[in-house]
A and B are shown apart, each in its own frame.
Chain A
Amino acid sequence: MGKIVAIHSFRGGTGKSNVTANLAAQVALAGKRVGLVDTDIQSPGIHVLFGLDETNMGNTLNDFLHGKCTIGEVAYPVGDNAGQLKELAGKYLWLFPSSIRGHEISQILRDGFDINLLNAGLQTLMSEFDLDCLFIDTHPGLNEETLLSIAISDLLIVILRPDNQDFQGTAVTVDIARSLDVPNLLLMVNKAVPGYDYDDLKGQIEGAYKAPLTGILPLNYELAGNASKDLFSLSNPLHPWSMELRKVTEAILAIP
């Protein structure tokens, strides 16, 4: 039985989708069977990093939640469609995208969906695809589907920027994770500006949340300039951002 890894940040703009996609790719590179679900139904973004757009996107999570297809039919096999992401060719990585069609987004936001169905779908694809690792990219904040993702996760990774609003929000997420008995909690910092005493920051954060901090990813102008078009850790494996990210990958792989 594989593990479910939920990736969360209390506020938007932490680079969560980018980090999640890169983590999933790195775990797949390590030979694991990996699923990646975009439950950020309100503002999906992860598909772009895998070369998906409106023209080539097939079934989506929305279709599954509306009973139009099975969860298995949502799977987009990245290993068979690697394209520019040539490192991922032949790897076991499936993407489960959310719809990017405006009316489908507004429909699901208006009508809601059965949270139990989402839960069932996630559990199904764990066994159907024999996944070692299922990454869930959540919507910022703590809405129902995000709470579900946290509740069913074996590992919750909270991404924060080094600023007070994120420090405050992360405290609540950490409390919720503990309340829901999430067995493993990992903090990571993204968009750290130069000039920090990184060791000091790590100690401060670990002390404040009583949880390990793995990976302090620097603010990456190249990544921003990359305009989210590919997976940075694949195209720039030796960049400090990628090297810090791989520390998190190793921490994920180390969890039984």
Chain B
Amino acid sequence: MEQDTIAQLKKINWFTELREDFFDALAQKVRKRILNRDEILFNKGDVGNSLFIINSGRVKIVTQDSQNNEVILNQVGAGEVIGEMALLDYEPRSAGVVALEETSVMELSREDFMEILSRQPELALSIIRSLIARLRHNTSYIENITEMSRRVARGDYSFISETPSVQTDEDKIGQLMAEFIAMVQGVREREEELKEQVQKLAPQIDEAKRKQVFEEIIGTDFYANLKQQAQKLRAQRMDNK
């Protein structure tokens, strides 16, 4: 059982450079919990004092929209880690977590984490490296999206077919990228639809209405008189030419 725990701990990005003997210590400190289906692990806004590693099962990461309806941000399963940021930044939980099925998790408290960190400062370097890797990854997506935005502004949508599809269960920046591509696709479709409508614009004339308005105008005495005068005038001017 402990070997399983150690194997799970080794999957955590932050711990990849941790010395073997520390995993034993770490494994002693984690607390196992079993969640029933629909059980809440924590709510959005809760104080975050620990991280969780999912051993088995599946959970959803949720928040609420402006009408207080649940919005599922993501689903995560075995081997994945939740809430690791809270160990370092002391911020309240940015989203809630609810079990989708019976789920087994391991909890590591901030206190225990800090204690390990003080005994092995290299862990801090490892964490920094992992954060830098994440930062680089995000930056490359931001650069891509910036360039794509420029191209959309020019009406150039050709990158949609060039961009490899992004899995929506990737990290948040990956989700942004997927949403962005979907948005551009939607904008292009609407634009094409509109172009189609514009090109198809042809004079639509209501002939009955046309006739009615025409007859109203020509039905007056003024018009009859005008028509007669106009004919005379034209004849005169033709003579003068």
A residues apposed to B, CB below 8 Å? 1, 115, 119, 123, 142, 144, 147-148, 151-152, 162, 164, 167-168, 171-172, 175-176, 179-181, 193, 195-197, 200-201, 204-205, 208-209
Contacts and interface: CB of A to CB of B under 8 A. Distances in A.
Contacts of A115: 222, 226
B204 A167 contact: yes
Contacts of A1: 237, 240-241
10 contacts: A115-B226, A147-B217, A168-B209, A171-B205, A175-B214, A179-B214, A180-B230, A181-B230, A181-B231, A208-B203
A153 to B, nearest CB: 9
A113 B223 CA distance: 16
B13 interface: no
B198 interface: yes
Closest 3 pairs between A and B when the two form their complex, measured CB to CB: A151-B230, A167-B203, A208-B203
Contacts of B217: 142, 147, 172, 176
Given A1-B237, A168-B209, A195-B198, A204 B229 contact: no
B134 interface: no
B31 interface: no
B227 A200 contact: no
Contact of B205 (A167, A181, A193, A200): A167
B195 interface: yes
Nearest to A166: B203
B66 interface: no
A204 B230 CA distance: 31
A204 B202 contact: yes
Given A148-B226, A152-B233, A172-B214, A204 B203 contact: yes
Contacts of A180: 226-227, 230
Interface string B210-241: 10011001100011001101110110010011
A179 B227 contact: yes
B226 A147 contact: yes
Contact of B213 (A151, A172, A209): A172
A162 B201 contact: yes
Which range holds the interface residue count of chain B? 20 to 34
B205 A201 contact: no
Interface SS of chain B: helix, strand, loop or mixed?
A: helix
A9 B46 CA distance: 68
Nearest to B199: A197
Nearest to A203: B202
Nearest to B191: A195
A204 B229 CA distance: 34
Contacts of B199: 195-197, 200
Given A172-B210, A172-B213, A195-B198, A152 B230 contact: yes
A181 B229 contact: no
Given A168-B206, A196-B201, 12 more contacts: A151-B227, A152-B230, A172-B213, A172-B214, A175-B214, A176-B218, A179-B214, A181-B230, A195-B199, A196-B198, A197-B199, A201-B201
A147 B223 contact: yes
Contacts of A164: 203-204
A119 B206 CA distance: 33
Contact of A168 (B201, B205, B226, B231): B205
User: Which of A144, A147, A201 is most buried by chain B, counting CB atoms within 10 A of its CB?
Assistant: A147
B230 A208 contact: no
A76 to B, nearest CB: 25
Nearest to B223: A147
Given A147-B226, A172-B210, A180-B227, A123 B233 contact: yes
Nearest to A195: B198
Nearest to A160: B203
A172 B207 CA distance: 10
Contacts of B201: 162, 196, 201
Contacts of B210: 168, 171-172, 175
Contacts of A123: 233
A101 B131 CA distance: 74
Contacts of A171: 203, 205, 210
A181 B227 CA distance: 9
A36 B212 CA distance: 33
